Amino acid sequence: METAQITPFAAIAEFDTPGALVQAAEKVRKAGYSKTDALTPFPVHGIDEALGIPRSHLGYIVLCIGMMGTAAALLLQWWTGAVDYPLVIGGKPLFAFEFSIPVTFELTVLFSSFAAVFGMLALNGLPRFYHPLDNARMTRRVSDDRFVLVIDKSDPKFHPVETIGFLRSLNPISTELVED
C-alpha cells in the first residue's frame, strides 16, 4: 500500500452535512483524540464543544490594547494642549475631560480594532500560504460544501492505518491520509 511509503501529516475524513461532522467529531473526542481539527465552509454550531476546543482569548488581548489606546489619546491631548504648546482658544480650558472624550473614544476603538484583526490573524498563524492539508484532494471543496474532520499526526493516538480505519467507521463520504 502507498500509505506505508509517504510521511503522513494527518488523517482526514469528509462529510456532507454539518450535523454528520459534529456527530463524528463527538466520537473522535470520546475515542481519546485531542490533536484534532475540522475544516468547514462556515462556523459550525457545536463543533467547538464536540472537539473540545477552548474559547478564544482574543477578548483579553483587545481589552489590553484598547486601554493603551485610551491612555495614548489622553496623554496626547493633555501634553500637546496643556504642556507643549499651551494656547487659550475660545476661553476653553487647556485640558478638560469634556472635550477630550470624543478623540479618546475614537482612538480606543481604533486600537481595539487593530488588536482584534491582527490578533485574530496572529492567533491563527495567518497569513500562511502553504499548508500540508492543501495536498489533500478533498480540502478544495471545504470552502464550498464539504465538512472535513482532521486528526493530526502529532496526536499520541495517531496511527496511519488504525486512525484511517477508525475514521472510516464514522460513515464519512471518504477518507484520506495526507502527505506532509
Which residues within the stretch 127-166 sit at the binding site for another protein (CB under 8 A)?
A: 127-131, 133-134, 139-145, 150
Do 95 and 77 contact (CB within 8 A), yes or no?
yes
Q: Residue 107 and residue 70: Cα distance in Å, rounded?
A: 6
Answer for which of 81, 151, 163, 164 binds another protein (CB under 8 A) is 81
CB 175, min distance to another protein, A: 18
Interaction between residue 26 and another protein (CB under 8 A) = no
Give the SS3 label for residue 150: strand
Q: Which residue has the cell 502553504?
A: 130
Does the footprint of another protein cover residue 107 (CB under 8 A)? yes
70 near another protein, rule: CB under 8 A: no
* Side chain identity, residue 133: L
**Segment near another protein (CB under 8 A), from 6-14, 106-114, 157-165, 166-174?**
106-114
Does residue 7 interact with another protein by CB under 8 A? no
Q: What is the 3-state secondary structure (H, E, C) of 34-93?
A: CCEEEECCCCCCCHHHHHCCCCCCHHHHHHHHHHHHHHHHHHHHHHHHHHHCCCCCCCCC
The binder of another protein chosen from 26, 34, 71, 110 (CB under 8 A) = 110
CA dihedral sign, ordered 11, 15, 21, 27:
negative
| Of positions 62, 151, 164, 178, contacts another protein by CB under 8 A | 62
- Residue 179 CB, nearest approach to another protein (Å): 16
Identify which of residues 4 and 42 has a Cβ nearer to another protein in the complex: 42
Decide: is 28 part of the binding site for another protein (CB under 8 A): no
Q: How near is the Cβ of 1 to another protein at its closest, in Å?
A: 28
Cβ atoms of 142 and 12 within 8 Å: the answer is no
